[in-house]
Every structure is written in structure tokens, then in C-alpha cells.
Structure 1
Amino acid sequence: MADGEPPKPPPRLEESVKQSQLSPQILYSDVVKAHSQPYSQQPFELNTIFDAESSALKEISTYQGKPSVVFPFSDKQVLVEKLKYVLVGKFSHGRPPMDTIKKFFVSLKLKGDCNSTIFDKKHIFIECVCKEDYYHIWLKLKWFIDGYAMRVFKWSPDFSPMKESSIAPVWIRVECLPLYLFDEMSLLSISNSIGRPISVDPRNINRTMLHSSRICVELDVDKPLLDAILISFKDEVSKNILEKFWVKVFYDEVPLFCSFCCHIGHGTGTCKRRLEDIRSGQGKAEILSADKVFDNMPQAENSTNSTKFVAGNCGSKMGKQIRPSMEWQPIGKHVPNARSDLDNKVAPE
């Protein structure tokens, strides 16, 4: 207001009403009500409207009077392949805010993007873009985020929040290998008979460690551990086996897995849930049948097998073959991913 000018009169009532109608007052109760709406009732925008007549929609049939949608199995394989770098993070004793979790993954300075999403109060999904980040997070098995422990598991299509995956990254040691097999692809091929290979110790590749080879594999820790691998060389033309020998396999820090409650971290013999069932008298038949398996827990390093092995780098003549009396003795039952050509079990002289 300039000096000497009279003050402006207040606006008329009609104008005030019009302004209030243009910018209505926001009440606290309305804000609370909006945030308390169920997810299905919250407003959203439609970016695209799908054409319901599209030929991309799957076949519809009926089963027992109810609708059934039929997908080609190849579709499942394609969909699962898109999620090959997804991990499951589990917080058994409380979970930090999601913003804190996202900041944690940013702090790891990964090579690519990493998206984390809540599944339920204990589980999150961790989706990596590149393979290196996927294994970097998984190989540690347990992380601490703002004081909360997060265990990491491999995601699979049959994921269930009630069951933890028995697939874990484990370092194996293959001993008594001939020098010429200290080659990356050769070591990966050998370890593939135990589990899906992940990585080879670089000291083996550059041949600075030759007393044993270390390979990290995806191992099903619910299966018995194999203590030997048969290596064969065959003629490419005649297909005849020219040479065979066995090598020992050892395992470093295999996580315990409970087949009773499907959790990693403890064995079946010490499972609290199983012991409670025993005390209460429930499930005795299942427990007794399970004991027959669990009493023979795999002990790869302390195997009582009388199996004899060829020593590639262990003092014997390289390439020496095994006597017919030597048999391949897996500890417990056969692992499904072991190669079928090992089932001959006897290496001829």
C-alpha cells in the first residue's frame, strides 16, 4: 500500500465463496481415509487398455465344471528364464523399512540394477540384472541390514514361504587331479557331475595351487554327498574307453538342511519342531521312517569307504588305472544330477 492511499476494501462474500470452491479445504480425516483404503480400492491410472480379442490370450477350457486356463509348457520355460537372477531374502526376526533395504543394495555398488520388492512380512524378492551381482549377493548367504539378519536363498518356480530352498552355493575340492586337467573348462566339466558349476578358484586356473582344485557349485544339500568322480577318456572314432581313473571329492562348509521342517541352518536330528512332535507323540510313523535316512547323514570327509583312488598328483604314476575290485561308493542314495556314465562303477585294468 502506497503512502496516502486508502486501504483496499475486503473482498465481497460472494467472491470468497467462489475462491473456496476453487480450492476446497483438505481435511485430515480425508487423508487418513484415503491411505486406509484397501489396495484394490485405491485409485490408479490405466496406461493401456488391452484388446480382449487378442490371439495372445491362452486357451480356456473347463475342468470339473470350473474354468481352466491352459498354458503351453514352453511358455513356462520362457517366463522362468526371465527370472533366472531372482533371489529370496528372508528376515526371520524382524525386517527394516523397505527404503533402508533399497539403500543397502545401492551401497553395495553392484554392476547393474537391483530391484527389491516385498513379498510378505518375512520375505523379499531380489531381482538382479547381471549374473555377477546375483552370485555376489547369494554367495554370502547372510547379510545384515540395519541390524536385521537377512538370509538369501535361490528362487525357484516352486518357491513357497513355508519351505526354504535346499540349493546352496558350496565350494568343493577335487583332489589327485593330473596336471593337464587344471584347465578352467575341464574343472567346470568335472564339477558339473556334482552340481551346477559357478566359479573356479583362480589359483587353479593360473596353476599356482595344484594340490587340489576348488570349484564353487550349486549343491542340493538335502541330497547325499558323493565322495568320488570317475574320469574317463574315450576314442572319438571307436568310442572305446581308453583310460579311467577316480578322484576324491571333499566339501567345504556344507550348510545343514532339515528335511523335516524344510529349513537351512540345522539338521533333522536337532530340529525343535521334530523333537516337539516326538514328545507329543504326533507323527511317529513319519519320524521313525525319516530316522532311517537321517541316521546315515553324509560325512564326505570321514567316509569309511575302502575305495582306492588313482593319484594324479599324489605320488603315483599319472594315468594309472584302477583295479577291478575298486567300486564307486556314493554316500547314501544316488544324486539325480550325477552323470549316468558313472554308473558302471568298475574301472577295468
Structure 2
Amino acid sequence: MDAAGAAVGAPARPRSYADLVAQTPQPIPEVEVPLRPLKMFEGVPYVSFTKEEIDRSAQPFKFFLVLKFLRRRPSLDNIRAFCWWHWGLVFQPVISAMANPRSVFVCLSNEEDFIKGFSREAFEIDGVPYRVFHWSPEYVEEQELAFVPVWIFLLGLPPNYYHESFLRNITLPLGQFIRRDNCTRCATRTDGARVCIKMDISKPPMDEFWIGVPNQPSSWLQAVVFEKLPQFCMHCCMQGHNLKMCSRERTKIQGGDGKLRKIWGRKDKKIDGKAGCSKEVGTSEVQPT
């Protein structure tokens, strides 16, 4: 398969933006659940689904991405065309708006296209930077997932370990293997392996781990170099800054021991016209001045 994604059974690539936009999206596969009686809780009706049903409902969306632009997003047509031409996709992506005006769904139909979009190293369309997330039922538009694609370099890894099946196992302590770069795939650079993984950036990064039984003659500590590791704030669940730089509301109070403490809290939100409840999410001590 070449860079243009020519494959047996793949549709002809559109010749223009208009051709791309004109193509008709296909219905998603239906997931059936039984009809059940309406439930009541303290006089309020509600519906609920089992975890297994929710997991099945998410299967048709397993190759969906969310692009969250850091400024006003480009038009849907421009995003659609950019993803098609610059990502080198095999099948046409379906791009749709989300409730957040800066975010879009990118609906991809196969794993190959998903990997191309998720592991991109340049996150910018029409000069507007964006962050990419793998959509799941846990995705919340007001927050950002801590699981993101990160490129790493396994310094000094011998070239006989560059096989994809080996790298899938080797990167398990760090996250989920996404893909290796072309130099690693072809072993044209043998001072280490460069790999994209899906990792949890809310946890401290692991800069080394053992390959083989620890402290045995045939084993070694493998060094890990992270490229552009994003910062993540546990208070507001957003990327781009850490806890110390968080701009969420902070209030100083004085305790009985004479020390000042910072109370971090979320601002009240209105839901259906009703005020939500504020929530303290952490404290840190500050010496009085």
C-alpha cells in the first residue's frame, strides 16, 4: 500500500474539495438492546444500561478521534479535506461538529487510518493548533483525557528488538503501542527505536525499566526519552499546564496552626437553569507572610 492509501476495494480518491464533501456518509452498524420497563427513583423517571451494553454501543466508534482546537477552529470542509489529503487516509473521514464549538469528531473506518490520525507529530490545521484524543464513552467535552499519543525513543535498544510484536511487549510498562516510525521499521537508524504510544500523562513518566529479569547478566535497564511530553493538571483535567500553574479559583484560609492554606475549588455551574454544587478538590499549605 502506498502513501496515498491505494488498496483493494478502496474508493477512488476525490479530485477536489467539492468531490470530497459530496460523498455520502454510511450508517453506523446498529447495536440492539432489549426494550425494558421505565424505572422510577423517588418519583423521577430514568433509564439505565449495563456496562456490557455501553461497551457494545461504543464498538462502532472505536476508530473515532476528537480534535480540540486551541483557538477558533477551521471550517468543517477545510478540516475534512486536510485530514484526507495530509493524513494519507485509505477511506474518506466523516467530520462533524460537537457541542464545544472548538471540537470536531473525526470518524475513521479502519485501524490503519486511525493510527495515521492519532499518531500525527504536527497538530495544526490552517495554522490553528489542536489536541487529539481517542474518543470513548468516558470522554467529557469540558475536560481532557489523560491518555494521549506520545512519541518516545528507546535509547540503545538493539535492532533485533525492532519487530512490531517485540515493541508491543517492550512498551507495555509505558502505555499502549500505536506504531513505530519508518527508520525503526526499516532499521535504518540503529541507535534506538522510536515509537508512538498511548500513555497516561497524569502519572509520573517512567524514564527507565528492565528488559529481562532485573539484575541478571542478560538483562538491562532500558532508558526512555520522551518527546514533547504534555503537561496535565489533575485539578481541572486539562492539558497545557500543571497543578502549580492552574488558574482555577484559589482561596487562602488560615488554620488553627497559624498556617495559610490554599483551597482549590471548581466554580459553580448551571445545569438546566439550576446551580450546581462547588467541590473542593485539593489543598496545599502556604506559610503566612
The one-letter code matched in structure 1 to 2:106 is: I
CA distance in 2, matches of 1:205, 1:122: 36
TM-score normalised by structure 2 residue count:
0.66
* CA displacement at 1:135 relative to structure 2: 2.8
Residue 197 of structure 1: which of 164, 177, 181 is its match? 177
RMSD after superposition: 3.3
TM-score normalised by structure 1 residue count:
0.56
Check 1:285–1:125 CA distance in 2 against 1; reply closer, same or farther (3 A cut): same
Provide the residue aligned with 1:57 in structure 2: 35
1:267 maps onto 2:248 in alignment = no
Check 1:284–1:76 CA distance in 2 against 1; reply closer, same or farther (3 A cut): same
Which has the larger helix fraction? 1
8 Å contact from structure 2 (residues 64, 114) kept in 1 = yes
* CA displacement at 1:84 relative to structure 2: 1.2
CA distance in 1, matches of 2:33, 2:282: 51
Please list, as runs of the form range in 1=range in 2, the aligned pairs for 1:110-189 lying within 5 A after superposition.
110-120=89-99, 121-140=101-120, 142-145=123-126, 147-178=127-158, 180-189=160-169
CA distance in 2, matches of 1:252, 1:153: 18
CA distance in 2, matches of 1:55, 1:100: 37
Larger radius of gyration: 1
CA distance in 2, matches of 1:169, 1:212: 19
* CA displacement at 1:229 relative to structure 2: 1.8
Provide the residue aligned with 1:211 in structure 2: 191
Provide the residue aligned with 2:47 in structure 1: 69
Deviates most, 188-197 or 62-71: 62-71
Check 1:252–1:95 CA distance in 2 against 1; reply closer, same or farther (3 A cut): closer
* CA displacement at 1:148 relative to structure 2: 4.1
* CA displacement at 1:127 relative to structure 2: 0.8
CA distance in 2, matches of 1:133, 1:155: 15
Which string of whole-angstrom CA distances, capped at 9 and with x for unpartnered residues, describes residues 201-250 of structure 1?
343344333322222100111111112222236xxxxxxx9964432222
Residue 285 of structure 1: which of 255, 258, 263 is its match? 263
Provide the identity percentage.
26
CA distance in 1, matches of 2:83, 2:43: 48
Deviates most, 110-119 or 255-264: 255-264
The one-letter code matched in structure 1 to 2:89 is: L
* CA displacement at 1:180 relative to structure 2: 4.0
Tell me, what secondary structure is at the counterpart of 1:101?
A: helix
The one-letter code matched in structure 2 to 1:217 is: I
8 Å contact from structure 1 (residues 59, 70) kept in 2 = no
* CA displacement at 1:106 relative to structure 2: 4.3
Which string of whole-angstrom CA distances, capped at 9 and with x for unpartnered residues, describes residues 122-145 of structure 1?
222111112232232333362223
Check 1:203–1:99 CA distance in 2 against 1; reply closer, same or farther (3 A cut): closer
8 Å contact from structure 1 (residues 255, 265) kept in 2 = yes
The one-letter code matched in structure 1 to 2:152 is: I
Tell me, what secondary structure is at the counterpart of 1:82?
A: helix
Task: Give unpaired runs (5+ residues) of structure 2.
Answer: 1-31, 254-260, 266-280
Check 1:138–1:179 CA distance in 2 against 1; reply closer, same or farther (3 A cut): closer
* CA displacement at 1:102 relative to structure 2: 3.4
Check 1:192–1:118 CA distance in 2 against 1; reply closer, same or farther (3 A cut): same
* CA displacement at 1:66 relative to structure 2: 2.8
CA distance in 2, matches of 1:192, 1:254: 18
* CA displacement at 1:175 relative to structure 2: 3.1
Which string of whole-angstrom CA distances, capped at 9 and with x for unpartnered residues, describes residues 56-113 of structure 1?
3245433333334342322211122221111112234323443443344444452112
Which string of whole-angstrom CA distances, capped at 9 and with x for unpartnered residues, describes residues 295-318 of structure 1?
xxxxxxxxxxxxxxxxxxxxxxxx
Residue 257 of structure 1: which of 224, 232, 254 is its match? 232
8 Å contact from structure 1 (residues 102, 116) kept in 2 = yes
8 Å contact from structure 2 (residues 158, 190) kept in 1 = no
Provide the residue aligned with 1:315 in structure 2: none
* CA displacement at 1:194 relative to structure 2: 0.8
Please list, as runs of the form range in 1=range in 2, the aligned pairs for 1:291-306 lying within 5 A after superposition.
none
Tell me, what secondary structure is at the counterpart of 1:173?
A: strand
Which has the larger strand fraction? 2
How many residues of Structure 1 are paired with residues of Structure 2 in the alignment?
Answer: 228
8 Å contact from structure 2 (residues 208, 223) kept in 1 = yes
